[in-house]
């Protein structure tokens, strides 16, 4: 990696500036190959992948005066689901997920309404078809918006499946089979990832769906088994339960691996207390379709070794994701990948083993699989390529939120990571169980509403991480993330005046440490 970094810096010169070659139009496939061999490229920058990171990079470079093209193609899911420009976030991720999460939250508000004087019938049915149509129409409007933005910035868009011919040339294959060769001085790979199926499980692919499909279902999924314990699994299970569907989550080991495990347990405890069923320590063995079209699932309890069977209308696999790199022919360009994860190896500049080829977002090794990080990394990369900046993407203290029924927002280190890095004797954790004001009149259970701030023990007690479980966690965490990014200390947070009455103010009132052993339950207003 050090040698790669030196090679990249030598090519870049001071402040990461590049010399762009004069672009030339390709005269057909042979003309493109001939021009590329002569050192003439079609584009200054070619972006492979039309998701959040790729589009952000392309638009930024075009705005800075470069000739840019985007090549994007969505391979239909095994079920046949397809979508438009915008990547996972827009089509089968953040956007439809948050909208369906909101639909589920509205169901809870309907149940609260009588406590506040609203005479609302308590048996209000939910219409999946109507919700799905509204969500899908909004997603399609975003697809169109991305197309318009590319056109406005004079970014050429190719709806083609891309693969490398050599380190400067990419072959695009359109739906009808037509081939186009595109060459560029610099290439950015931003192809993201897709959900993976467990191919060793009988019936998994034939009868199951993934998050690539759930948001595009025309009819209600009905009784659903969600296999997996990732944030995708829990978010989907959460809104399905909230919409009134019988939902079960099958967990092999631990929920939300990589997140703070105390917070993860509280998330699943809340879900269980609100109707989501959990099968812990279990693995699926097979899925078979019955004559009545129901799915019979057989699973094994890893502790007892006993096998069980139940029937479901839908089986949703949420057991991880794989990068979309296998069909790119990266070896023809000399781009190295991790042999296990198949993700592309990159340095701090997002450069691959080939200095003028870059990778950002979910396809890059060691990067958070989050839309905002891909967007920022793409924009910063474009500015460096255009000589406008030398700023690198900082992947530390990136905030995120898990949109489970009770939302979990976090930024910085988990308690486990802080202890592993600094030692338990050097870490102080301040925490509180609190009750949102909105929960009081409606008599909602708030036993899982919890905050903890992980700090260094030595004054002024630098904040290492913040974890918030409660309503609007994303909004709360986003604000405090700025302070933590700027190196806030516990003392500074305590000097911050809270906004009353809010859940966020409880962060600025944390005064009981775990080490003290005192009851952290907030009393009074």
Catalytic residues: 500
- Pick from 319, 364, 347, 42: nearest CA to 204: 319
Structure tokens at 102: 């909101």
What is the Cα 208 distance to its own chain's centre?
Answer: 21
**What is 200-221 written as a DSSP string?**
TSBTHHHH-B-HHHHTT-SS--
Q: Where are the beta strands (DSSP E) in 174-281?
A: 179-189, 193-195, 224-227, 247-251, 277-280
Name the H helices within 38-156.
Answer: 52-63, 87-92, 94-112, 128-152
Q: Angle, to 10 degrees, between the axis of helix 128-152 and the axis of helix 52-63?
A: 30
3-state secondary structure 95-124: HHHHHHHHHHHHHHHHHHHHHHCCCCCCCC
Residue 481 contacts residue 411 (beta carbons within 8 Å): yes
Residue 303 contacts residue 184 (beta carbons within 8 Å): no
Q: Which residue in this structure is represented by tokens 């296999």?
A: 227
Largest Cα–Cα separation, the chain: 77
Q: Angle, to 10 degrees, between the axis of helix 94-112 and the axis of helix 128-152?
A: 140
């Amino acid at each position: 990696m050090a040698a790669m970094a030196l090679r990249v810096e030598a090519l870049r010169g001071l402040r990461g500036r590049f010399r762009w070659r004069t672009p030339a139009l390709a005269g057909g496939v042979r003309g493109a190959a001939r021009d590329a061999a002569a050192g003439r490229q079609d584009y200054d920058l070619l972006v492979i992948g039309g998701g959040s990171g790729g589009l952000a990079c392309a638009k930024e470079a075009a705005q800075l005066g470069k000739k840019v093209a985007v090549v994007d193609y969505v391979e239909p899911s095994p079920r046949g689901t397809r979508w438009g420009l915008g990547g996972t976030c827009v089509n089968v991720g953040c956007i439809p997920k948050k909208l369906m999460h909101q639909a589920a939250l509205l169901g809870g508000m309907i149940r609260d309404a009588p406590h506040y004087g609203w005479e609302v019938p308590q048996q209000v049915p939910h219409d999946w078809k109507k919700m799905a149509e509204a969500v899908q129409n909004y997603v399609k409007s975003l697809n169109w918006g991305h197309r318009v933005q590319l056109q406005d910035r004079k970014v050429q868009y190719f709806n083609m499946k891309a693969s490398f011919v050599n380190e400067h040339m990419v072959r695009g294959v359109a739906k009808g089979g037509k081939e186009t060769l595109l060459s560029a001085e610099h290439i950015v790979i931003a192809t993201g990832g897709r959900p993976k199926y467990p191919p060793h499980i009988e019936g998994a692919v034939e009868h199951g769906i993934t998050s690539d499909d759930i948001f595009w279902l025309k009819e209600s999924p009905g009784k659903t088994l969600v296999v997996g314990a990732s944030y995708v699994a829990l978010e989907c299970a959460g809104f399905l339960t909230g919409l009134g569907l019988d939902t079960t989550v099958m967990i092999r080991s631990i929920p939300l691996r990589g997140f703070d495990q105390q917070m993860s347990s509280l998330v699943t405890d809340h879900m269980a207390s609100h109707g989501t069923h959990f099968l812990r320590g279990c693995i699926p063995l097979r899925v078979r379709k019955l004559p009545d079209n129901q799915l019979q699932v057989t699973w094994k309890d890893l502790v007892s070794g006993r096998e069980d069977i139940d029937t479901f209308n839908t089986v949703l696999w949420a057991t991880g994701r794989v990068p979309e790199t296998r069909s790119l022919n990266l070896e023809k360009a000399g781009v190295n990948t991790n042999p296990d994860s198949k993700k592309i190896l990159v340095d701090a500049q997002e450069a691959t083993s080939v200095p003028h080829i870059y990778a950002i977002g979910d396809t890059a090794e060691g990067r958070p699989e989050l839309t905002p990080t891909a967007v920022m990394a793409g924009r910063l990369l474009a500015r460096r390529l255009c000589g406008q900046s030398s700023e690198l993407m900082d992947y530390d203290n990136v905030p995120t939120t898990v949109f489970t029924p009770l939302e979990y927002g976090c930024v910085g280190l988990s308690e486990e990571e802080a202890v592993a890095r600094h030692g338990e004797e050097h870490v102080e954790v301040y925490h509180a169980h609190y009750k949102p004001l909105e929960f009081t009149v409606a008599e909602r259970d708030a036993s899982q509403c919890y905050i903890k701030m992980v700090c260094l023990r030595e004054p002024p007690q630098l904040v290492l991480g913040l974890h918030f479980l409660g309503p609007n966690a994303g909004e709360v965490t986003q604000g405090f993330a700025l302070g933590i990014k700027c190196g806030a200390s516990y003392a500074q947070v305590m000097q911050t005046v809270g906004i009353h009455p809010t859940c966020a103010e409880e962060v600025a009132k944390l005064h009981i440490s775990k080490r003290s052993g005192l009851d952290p339950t907030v009393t009074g207003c």
